[in-house]
Amino acid sequence: MNSLVKYLEWDSNFFDFPVFKIDYTSDVEIEKVFSVNRNQTALYYVFSENIILNASVLANYNGKLVDEKVLFTKQGLEFKNNITNSFELYTETIPNDKLYELARISGKYSRYKTDKRLPSFTFEKMYNLWIENSCMNKNCVIYVCKHENNIVGFITLEISSNSGSVGLIAVDNSMQGKGLGYELMCIAENHLIGLGIDNISVATQINNKKALNFYGRLGYKVETKSNIYHFILNKKDSENSI
């Protein structure tokens, strides 16, 4: 296999057909890979840093720009005391129905939702698995906010030895515009400070203008931007197959 191409075992098992990742170098190299494998049913994720692929490459190999990912980071965290809502750690190893619902809300702009060429089950199954894995991950903490004993917001925070990364964050529609998202981020930052960690990251999509403005107001800086393409080779016509 070409050294540019990485086989993704988890994704392949999820879709039940081969999935690969390519870090973009040039149109010529991409075309070499696709021309050799164009008769094989497969999904390719192509990542390129601020490079828009040639339109002919997209047309010839069923490619589509599906995500412009923006990674924000923040360093020098400061403890926040102005928390008005009540938060608690979610310690169950299985999500409840509300967490499943909020996980799907968090993925509104996900490429697995916006790329309608993918199997119809993709988005919901993907985000259900994401919150399930977060509940079972010992390196991940989940904070929830409850109102009248119902979960109305949550955030997942994956922790390494020297940093934290927000995975999922969502607020119920009934609580939008009341500052709950801000407090969820504060709770995550406070948790890291308690561990002696002073940097955090969170990713969103360029089309999610609300999130871009939100993280900017909180002092987060853009670390990287990535264009992500899906190339679907030898696509079948069945609704639930690629």
pLDDT of residue 55: 87
Q: Find the range with the poorest average confidence among 51-55, 58-62, 101-105, 218-222.
A: 51-55
Domains of the chain: 5-69+227-233 (3.30.110), 72-224 (3.40.630.30)
120 pLDDT exceeds 70?
yes
The stretch 217-236 carries a mean pLDDT of 92
Tell the residue number behind the tokens 């609704």, with chain if given. 239
- pLDDT for res 26: 87
Three-class DSSP labels, the chain:
CCCCEEECHHHHHHHCCCEEEEECCCHHHHHHHHHHHCCCCEEEEEEECCCCCCHHHHHHCCEEEEEEEEEEEEECCCCCCCCCCCEEECCCCCCCHHHHHHHHHHCCCCHHHHCCCCCCCHHHHHHHHHHHHHHHCCCEEEEEEEECCEEEEEEEEEECCCCEEEEEEEECHHHCCCCHHHHHHHHHHHHHHHCCCCEEEEEEECCCHHHHHHHHHCCCEEEEEEEEEEEEECCCCCCCCC
For 23-35, letters b (16+ CB in 10 Å) and e give ebeeeeebbebbe
Locate 221 and state its tokens: 């800086």
**pLDDT averaged over every residue in the chain:** 93
- pLDDT (tens digit per residue) in 158-177: 999 899 999 999 999 999 99
Confidence grade of residue 239 (pLDDT, cut at 50, 70, 90): very low
Q: So what's the pLDDT on residue 25? A: 86
Structure confidence by residue, pLDDT tens digits, 17-53 = 999 999 988 888 888 999 888 888 999 999 998 677 7
Helices 122-136 + 97-106 axis angle, to 10: 120
Instruction: Report the pLDDT value the prediction gives residue 54, as an integer from 0 to 100.
Output: 83
pLDDT at 236: 64
CA pair distance 43, 23, nearest whole angstrom: 14
pLDDT of residue 235: 72
Percent of the chain with pLDDT over 90: 82
**Whole-number pLDDT of residue 241:** 52
